[in-house]
């Protein structure tokens, strides 16, 4: 298994040299839109390039894809179907926050083989906080092994939710107006939301699309911390499937509550 500390150091160093110096210091020429409402910055591009170089040298024969390279050529997603291990990179998760000078962004890296995450890292540069996991080895923040929150009554559940419920309402609105949970608190950064789940400070995270750079590491980390993570329909997570709702929760009770509200007609 890969030495997770080596990858963690790559991520931390890239964030310190390529991301943090640009926070609240971006010029207009260093931000553009890939699509309306979907920004990318020079920090995204340079961080992905640097991590791609370092990671490709770490595991012989491994391939690398990242959010920005796929934005340029969607066919690169096909690499997830190969037999070779694949590094998956989100250089700045929460780019909208970052581009606006707001806290709430992370770096996410996963090592995937045949659709299954084998290792994952999520780094919060502003807090200098790193969570990592490897299949069968638990989820860790430094020397501390992480455990999801213990079961709580539904009315105390908090988490994040994006997309729409089966009723057509926004998922966050459907959950908040159900009267069955405490509330939805979206951060605009899936990496930080998975970190909260693994630390036991929230109980659920729902997303409408299963893009691997957003979710491969988080799915593994939550599972290794003792939670439940997979597709909303109950199927096991597979990074090769990129457009299906995913749900991660602190346990089966939280899963049932969120699932039932979101899938109600």
State pLDDT tens for residues 48-65: 999 999 999 999 899 999
CA 32 to each of CA 28, 59, 165, 208: distance values in angstroms, whole numbers, following the listed order: 8, 33, 31, 24
Instruction: Say whether both 19 and 126 belong to one domain.
Output: yes
CB 232 within 8 A of CB 243: no
pLDDT at 72: 93
CA distance 109 to 8: 9
Q: Which of 113, 145, 177 corresponds to the end of one domain?
A: 145
Q: What is the mean pLDDT of residues 74-92?
A: 95
Predicted local confidence at residue 263, as pLDDT: 98
94 and 51 within one domain: yes
Selection from 58, 145, 90, 116 nearest residue 236 by Cα: 116
Q: Mean pLDDT throughout 234-256?
A: 98
pTM: 0.97
Domain housing 52: 4-145
* CATH number for the domain that contains residue 204: 3.40.190.80
Residue-wise pLDDT for 161-216, tens only, equals 999 999 999 999 999 999 999 999 999 999 999 999 999 999 999 999 999 999 99
- 171 in Cβ contact with 162 (< 8 Å): yes
Residue 60: its pLDDT value, please?
Answer: 87
Same domain (yes/no): 27, 66: yes
145, 175, 202 — which closes off a domain?
145
Q: Say yes or no: 141 and 159 in one domain.
A: no
The b-or-e profile of 100-114 (16+ CB within 10 A means b, else e) is: eeeebbbbbbbbbbe
Sign of CA dihedral 7, 10, 13, 19: negative
Q: How many domains does the chain have?
A: 2
Position 106 confidence tier, pLDDT thresholds 50, 70, 90? very high
Do 84 and 24 share a domain, yes or no?
Answer: yes
pLDDT digit string, tens, across residues 132-150: 999 999 999 999 999 999 9
Q: Which of 145, 168, 185 delimits the end of a domain?
A: 145
User: Taking 90 as the threshold, does the pLDDT of residue 111 lie above it?
Assistant: yes
Residue 132 shares a structural domain with residue 161: no
| Residues 129, 14 within the same domain | yes
The answer on 93 and 223 residing in a single domain is: no
Strands 183-184 and 158-161: parallel
125 plus 183 within the same structural domain: no
């Amino acid at each position: 298994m890969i030495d997770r500390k080596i990858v963690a150091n790559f991520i931390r160093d890239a964030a310190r040299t390529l991301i943090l110096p640009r926070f609240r210091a971006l010029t207009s020429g260093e931000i553009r839109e890939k699509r309306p409402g979907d920004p990318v910055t020079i920090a995204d591009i340079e961080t992905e390039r640097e991590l791609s170089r370092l990671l490709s040298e770490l595991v012989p024969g491994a391939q690398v894809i990242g959010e920005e390279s796929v934005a340029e050529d969607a066919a690169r997603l096909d690499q997830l179907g190969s037999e070779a291990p694949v590094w998956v990179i989100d250089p700045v998760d929460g780019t909208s926050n970052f581009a606006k000078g707001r806290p709430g962004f992370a770096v996410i890296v996963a090592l995937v083989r045949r659709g299954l995450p084998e290792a994952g890292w999520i780094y919060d540069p502003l807090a200098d906080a790193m969570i990592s996991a490897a299949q069968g080895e638990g989820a860790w923040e430094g020397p501390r092994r992480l455990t999801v929150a213990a079961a709580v009554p539904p009315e105390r559940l908090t988490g994040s939710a994006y997309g729409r419920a089966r009723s057509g309402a926004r998922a966050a609105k459907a959950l908040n107006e159900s009267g069955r949970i405490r509330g939805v608190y979206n951060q605009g950064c899936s990496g930080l939301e998975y970190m909260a789940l693994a630390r036991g400070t929230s109980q659920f995270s729902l997303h409408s699309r299963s893009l691997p750079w957003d979710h491969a590491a988080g799915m593994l980390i939550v599972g290794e911390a003792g939670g439940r993570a997979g597709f909303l329909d109950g199927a096991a997570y597979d990074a090769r499937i990129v457009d299906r709702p995913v749900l991660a929760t602190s346990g089966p009770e939280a899963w049932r509550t969120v699932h039932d509200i979101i899938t109600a007609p």
